[in-house]
Amino acid sequence: MTFDLAHPPEVVSLAERTAAWVREVVLPVEDEFGGDLGAAGGEGLRIELQQSARTAGLLAPHAPVEYGGQGLGMVDRAPVFEAAGHSLFGPLAINVAAPDEGNVHLLAHVATEVQKEEFLRPLVLGETRSAFAMTEPAPGAGSDPAALTTSAVRVPGGWSVSGHKWFITGADGAGFMIVMARTSGAPGDAGGATMFLVPADSPGLVVGRHLRTLDRSMLGGHCEVSLSEVFVPDDGVLGEVDEGFRYAQVRLGPARMTHVMRWLGAARRAHEVALEHVASRRAFGSSLGDLGMAQQLVADNEIDIAATRALLMQACWELDRGERASMSSSIAKTFGAEAIGRIVDRSAQLCGGLGVSEDLPVARLLREVRPFRIYDGPSEVHRWSIARRAVRRAAAAPMGG
């Protein structure tokens, strides 16, 4: 039995070309504006960079080929997304940033052919942006999606959707949103949610304030969104009525893994900056890289990078096989989010005062990766889920096994 860990030559080439393009075109812009996407040009910069990526043959590597993408599976996305993530602006530049990347995956698997032409194709081509509107203020849906309170009721020709969302990434300037609303049952029930495709200019849909967060590299911010009797026609239902929670799993597992890919690229940049620093900085009669305490930090970074990649590949392999990969993706997300934070934190420590200054990118990377331990499910919720599955598996196993 053979087990080949190598990516196909065309994927290796795409990752290498992405890395070179990000280094030459994208990183200088990020560095000039300190990783603040709004200050760098926001929507105008997105359009400019994505046009350049399209010319370079790098745009939308994950999207279906028939809609303008390059059709990479989960395993083969990993090196390309990591290469893009070397810059905070890189994922946006090749159109693999959240939430659009996850929405592309969801639409490709669930949407009708008519919906794909209307929503998926322009999203893949960078002609529009999107948002995924599920999270609500307490006591609504957050880490527990079943607490969903936004409601949709049948009206002639479609549905009337009302509710209050927040932390909706990319909402400001999005062309459409995928809105999760309850169509049956009550908050706390395991089922009864439906996904709706809602154009951003729909009457009754209002994008409100930006919730100011640590990160500065998410286009469109993290916003409050209110829906007041927003009419959605029947052909705006994504998938089947009352099956929204099931479809959410189609999106969330892969999206968690692509987050790991992108942020691992950012962590690797911090590590490389730290390596360059300790190799050239002299103290106590030698280079910092020759000192045992610095070497331990470097070694631990190398271990965390390798372990994150290995766990990521396991989950992606399962997803490519059509499995839900709930256990492996929770493990990879939890370990990866925390390992990425450790890598960047150690890198800051290795760089000393420069590590917390604007002279190096490490400080802004530390700011950007910290929320990942909360985004896409807090580490504590994933640990609870992992433990619950492990206990259930043990309870179901034959005695003595």
C-alpha–C-alpha distance, residues 29 and 40, integer Å: 7
- CA dist., res. 313 & res. 377, Å (int): 20
User: Which tens digit of pLDDT belongs to each residue from 279-321?
Assistant: 999 888 888 998 999 999 999 999 999 999 999 999 999 999 9
Query: Token pair for residue 270?
Result: 């911090």
Ordered by start, the domain boundaries in the chain are 9-97, 130-238, 245-396
Assess contact for 322 and 328: CB atoms under 8 A. no
Residues 149 and 139 sit within 8 Å (Cβ to Cβ): yes
Amino acid 58 reads L
- Domain 9-97, CATH 1.10.540.10 — does that match? yes
What gap in Å lies between CA 20 and CA 36, rounded to an integer? Answer: 22
Superfamily of chain region 245-396: Butyryl-CoA Dehydrogenase, subunit A, domain 3 (1.20.140.10)
Beta bridge partners of 194: 181
In terms of Cα–Cα distance, which of 3, 8, 86, 14 is closest to 56? 14
**Phi/psi of residue 193, each to 5°?**
-105, 150
Which helix (H) or strand (E) segment holds residue 275: the answer is helix 244-280
Coil, helix or strand for 337? helix
Q: Which CATH architecture has domain 130-238?
A: Beta Barrel (2.40)
The DSSP string of 58-117 is -S-TTS-GGGTS----HHHHHHHHHHHTTSTTHHHHTT--TTHHHHHHHHHHH--HHHII
CA atoms of 221 and 173, how far apart (whole Å): 9
pLDDT along the chain (401 residues), means of 10: 81 98 98 96 98 98 98 98 98 98 98 98 98 97 95 98 98 98 96 98 98 95 98 98 95 96 98 97 87 96 98 97 96 98 98 97 97 95 97 88 52
Distance CA 367, CA 283 (A): 28
Whole-number Å distance between alpha carbons of 305 and 265 = 10
CA distances from 127 to 301, 346, 367, 396 (A): 39, 39, 30, 50
What is the pLDDT at residue 3?
66
C-alpha to C-alpha distance for 31 and 349, rounded to whole angstroms? 20
Check residue 285 and give its pLDDT.
84
pLDDT the model gives residue 209: 97
Beta strands 237-238 and 193-199 are: antiparallel
